[in-house]
Amino acid sequence: MKLDGFGLFVEDMGNMIRFYRDVLGFDIKEAEDTSNVYLVKDGTLFLLYGRKDFEKMTSRKYEYIKGLNGHFEIALYVDTFEEVDSAYEKAISKGAKSVLPPETEPWGQRTCYIADPENNLIEIGSFNRPFEKRNG
């Protein structure tokens, strides 16, 4: 098996589309009243799926976390430390919630955390080198 992508089950599709499209720059073409966003971002499938639609499809009810979701993160990479700071400031100025301002960690990564409108954690980080060389 290969990891294909990941999805978020969302309560307010329009709000989430606006955030991922307008704040983070994801190439979302669907209308804000859609029930399903399916796109490939940097080779990874990214899905937004309406909670009610998913519950109807699976004939089940689910519980959803209130407050910051500490179960997972979405990690975004930029090439330089300066881009971490810039991406953070841009996201905050456009309405993202600050969780952790940019800081350089002991292991050499500059990182910060924001949250989307439904409180999913998003990390923006860099090892101050291009993505392809981050593990080298």
- Pair 93, 121: CB distance under 8 Å: no
Q: Which residues of 15-40 are buried (b: 16+ CB within 10 A; e: fewer)?
A: ebbbbbbebbebebeeeeebbebebe
| pLDDT number for residue 110 | 98
Show the tokens assigned to 27.
Answer: 């190439």
Show the tokens assigned to 121.
Answer: 């954690």
Query: In the predicted model, is pLDDT for residue 135 greater than 60?
Result: no
Question: Mean pLDDT for the chain?
Answer: 94
Separation between Cα atoms, residue 71 and residue 63, nearest integer Å: 13
CB 55: neighbour CB atoms within 10 A?
13
> Rounded mean pLDDT of 111-125?
97
Q: Report the predicted TM-score, pTM, of the whole model to 2 decimal places.
A: 0.91
Q: Please give the DSSP secondary-structure letter assigned to residue 23.
A: I
Render pLDDT for 30-80 as a digit per residue (tens, 0 to 9).
999 999 999 998 889 999 999 999 999 999 999 998 999 999 999 999 999
| pLDDT number for residue 131 | 81
